[in-house]
Structure formats: C-alpha cells, structure tokens
Amino acid sequence: MPEILALLIAPDWVRSLTGERPPNVFWAEYIVWPLIQIVIVLFVVLTVVAYLVYFERKISAFIQARLGPMRVGPWGILQPAADGLKLLLKEDIIPIKADKLVFSIAPIISVVSTLVVLAVIPWGAAWATIANVNIGLLFVLAVSSVSVLGLVLAGWSSNSKYSLLGALRSSAQMVSYEVGMGLSIIGALIFARTLSLSGIVEAQRADGLPYFLFQPLGFLIYLISALGETNRAPFDLPEAESELVAGYHTEYSGFRWALFFMAEYTAMLVTSAVAVTVFLGGWYFPGLDWIKSNWGPNIYVLLSVAAFAGKIAVLIYAYMWFRWTWPRYRYDQLMELGWKWLIPAGLANVVLTGVWYVLALPEAQGGVFGFVKQTAGRYVPTGYGKIYFILTGFIITIPLSWALLATINRRSRDFNLHDQRQLQIKLRSERIKRNEPVAE
C-alpha cells in the first residue's frame, strides 16, 4: 500500500510549486510523473496538430476567397474530429504486392521520430520545460533525421513507381536540407555557447535580444531549410500531386495515411518550435521578469507558454501563407538551391560569425574591440556589442555571402545541374541522329 501511495508523490518541480518537500520516491520520480507529462504533451500536441489541419484549410480558404469547412459544428470547428473518425473507420488497404511488414511499420517510424522530439522542447519557463537535456538541439536533429527512414521505407514497400520516385525525392531532399539546417543553427550557438534548448533561451534572455537580430542570415537559411525538411510548399516535391499523384504515400489509406499526415504537421510544429527557441527568444519576452515578481510564478509560467505558442503560430501561419501563394520548385532546382546556395551560405555564415565574435572579444582573449564582457560566468555582449553584432549581421554577412555565392555559382559550370542536363540532351540527340542506342 505505501508503494502505491508513493506513486502519487510529486517530483521536485511540482513540489517547488506547492512549497512542500516530501521524500524522493523512485516510482513517482521516474515512472508516474513522466508518464503524466507525456500524456499531457501528446494530448495537447496532437489536438493542436489536428487543428493545424483545420487552420490550414481555413487559411487556404480565406486566401482563395472561399469559406473552408463550415458544416461540422459552428464554423466547422469539429471538422478535425470528423476527419479523424472518418480516417479511423476507413478500410485499411495494403496492396497485395507490398512488403506487408515494412508497409505497416513505415508510418510508425515516421510519426514516432517526430513525436519523440517533443520531449525536449522548452514549452515555457520553469516547470513547463519537460526535459532539459544538455544536448537538446543535437537530440532534435538526431531524432528527426530518423524520420527520413519512414518515408524511404514507405515508398519502397508500396511497390509502386510513383511511391518509389516520391520516396527517392523526399529522402534526397531531406538529407540535403538537414545539412543546411544544421549549419544555420551553429551561428546562434556561437552566441549561446550551449546546446541545451533551455540554455539557449536563457542566453537570449541574458543577452537581451533574440538571436535572429545577430543571425539574420542563419535565421533565413533555417526558415528555408525547415520548409524543405518538412516537405512543405514550395518544396513539397515528394507529394507533388500533379506529377507523382501523392508521392511516397500514394498507396496508403485510412489511419496509416493519417499517421503520415500527423507526422508532417508535427514536424512543422517541431521545426517552428526550434526556430522560436534558437532565433526568436523562445518563451521569453521583455517584461516577463516584472510579471514574475509582481504576479507570481504561476501566471509567469503560463504567460511564457502563451508567448511560445504565439511565436510558433506566427511561423506556422507563414508556412501556410507560403504554401498557398507560391508555385512548386522542380526537383533539380530544389537540389541546386539546397547544395549550391543554402549549404555554402550556412558555411559562410559560420565562418563570418566566428570572425565577428572573435574580433569582439576583449584583448586579453585575443579579440580587438572588447564588446563581449564576461559577467556571471557567461559572455554577454555590451550595448555597443549588440549594435556591432546587428550591423555586422545585416550589413556585412548577408551581402558578402551573397556576393561570394553568386560569384562561385556563376563560375562553376561543371556542377551546374542545368548545363549538365543540357549536355546530356545534346549527346543523346546526337546519338539518335547517328542511329545509336540512346541509353548509356
């Protein structure tokens, strides 16, 4: 009996809320409370994901001079529930020639790898951060890189050409854009000096400015790569319905298809959450400290969660706005953008940011200007330092990287996919003229 009671004893962070200090109990600490947290986060996030689909439909409708879903409930707000029910009750079709085992686990890999990331996202101040892992950012990148596997396996196991082409496209695309995404974050890490997501938020709080001001190029690269990484328009090639029907999930139906859909929207949420954490100051906003001291810790935490959600909402709205406004890139153009612009720009950003940072250090540490002062164990830019970093970021880093890339890309004809293709076409037409077999 005492063991069962012990299950309900709250861990440290709940005790800090209520002010009690009962003994540390293993089950409560490691099993029960984590489970409760997991259930809460999954429930909230999956509901939000279902409503993201609703908002996507509503926003697209308003952009397109329509009304969107209106029938299920007032303003169609029960539409996600109806959709979910419909997908659950649909027949689960597995093609006869499909590899049944792989076909069934592919959507699970896809959705699990995106959901696991939710554990380390700092949703808000204090207890609203579930797990503060010291390699948080790396964890996010690591786990989300596994989701590619789900798409590849889905495309392969369907045993359909459209699916396979879609899977090939998506995996090549995601692997490429992951690199750009990883590189774009490094600049911000130079300022934060930690990989912990909460640590990055705290660093921006201490520095007084969100990092997109210091890292405009990095933020830009991140936003573009995130669109590519989550397969959203204008990079939604894997699902290009006009060419490949539905890409890797062509053969899927019912709830398995819904899992892919869920994975896509959760990935959108996660990449936005990371963007908010790293570049937009996370859950912090100016005046939050005043609220904490005047309105109490609970309102402080709730407001921080609200700020985080608000910032994510802005980014997701932008995602949807892009999707319903722009045409779609072609596969080779997308690869060209990823490899010839985003990745080199990311590298240039890392190098230039490093140079600016070292120059800003005090003379004792090899710097010149001394714009970065060590206070309370952290390196914090001074007032001049902030202006210095913003100016270097906007006025030097962006134009310099652009000029560099434009020069390189103009010169490297050999690596120009378009010219390569033209060359192949030329060779092929010459072969046709000489009546030789066309394929190499």
Interface ranges with another protein (CB under 8 A): 26, 30, 60, 63-66, 99, 101-102, 105, 133-135, 138-139, 141-143, 145-146, 148-149, 152-153, 156, 161, 164-165, 168, 171, 175, 178, 195, 233-234, 236-237, 240-245, 324-333, 421-425, 428-429, 438-440
Please name the residues in contact with 319: beta carbons below 8 A apart, sequence gap of 6 or more: 227, 230, 232, 268, 272
Query: What are 292's two structure tokens?
Result: 């904490």
CA contacts within 13 A on the Cβ side of 439: 0
Q: Which helix (H) or strand (E) holds 182?
A: helix 161-192
Nearer of residues 66 and 373 to another protein, judged by Cβ: 66
Rounded to the nearest 5°, which phi and psi values hold at 375? -130, 130
Cα–Cα distance, 71 to 271 (Å, whole number): 32
Cα–Cα distance, 348 to 342 (Å, whole number): 10
Nearer of residues 165 and 213 to another protein, judged by Cβ: 165
Rounded to the nearest 5°, which phi and psi values hold at 307? -65, -40
Q: Is the N-terminal amide bond of 234 cis, ω within 30° of 0? A: yes
Nearer of residues 130 and 143 to another protein, judged by Cβ: 143
Measured distance between the N- and C-terminal CA atoms of the chain, rounded to whole angstroms: 76
CB of 438 vs another protein, minimal distance in Å: 6
Nearer of residues 17 and 38 to another protein, judged by Cβ: 38
Nearer of residues 90 and 428 to another protein, judged by Cβ: 428
Phi-psi region of 377 (alpha: psi -120 to 50; beta: other; left: phi over 0): left
CB of 194 vs another protein, minimal distance in Å: 8
Q: Can you give 65-100 as a three-state secondary structure string?
A: CCCCCCCCCHHHCCHHHHHHHHHHHCCCCCCCCCCH
Q: Is the dihedral of CA 194, 197, 203, 209 positive or negative?
A: positive
CB of 405 vs another protein, minimal distance in Å: 15
Please give the DSSP secondary-structure letter assigned to residue 22.
P
Cα–Cα distance, 425 to 111 (Å, whole number): 41
CB of 432 vs another protein, minimal distance in Å: 9
CB of 236 vs another protein, minimal distance in Å: 7
Query: What are 166's two structure tokens?
Result: 């879609």
Nearer of residues 61 and 209 to another protein, judged by Cβ: 61
- Whether residue 416 contacts residue 399, with contact meaning beta carbons closer than 8 Å, is answered with no
CB of 152 vs another protein, minimal distance in Å: 5
Nearer of residues 16 and 159 to another protein, judged by Cβ: 159
Residue given tokens 């879609």 in the structure block: 166
Nearer of residues 163 and 397 to another protein, judged by Cβ: 163
Nearer of residues 303 and 350 to another protein, judged by Cβ: 350
CB of 200 vs another protein, minimal distance in Å: 13
CB of 390 vs another protein, minimal distance in Å: 27
CB of 43 vs another protein, minimal distance in Å: 25
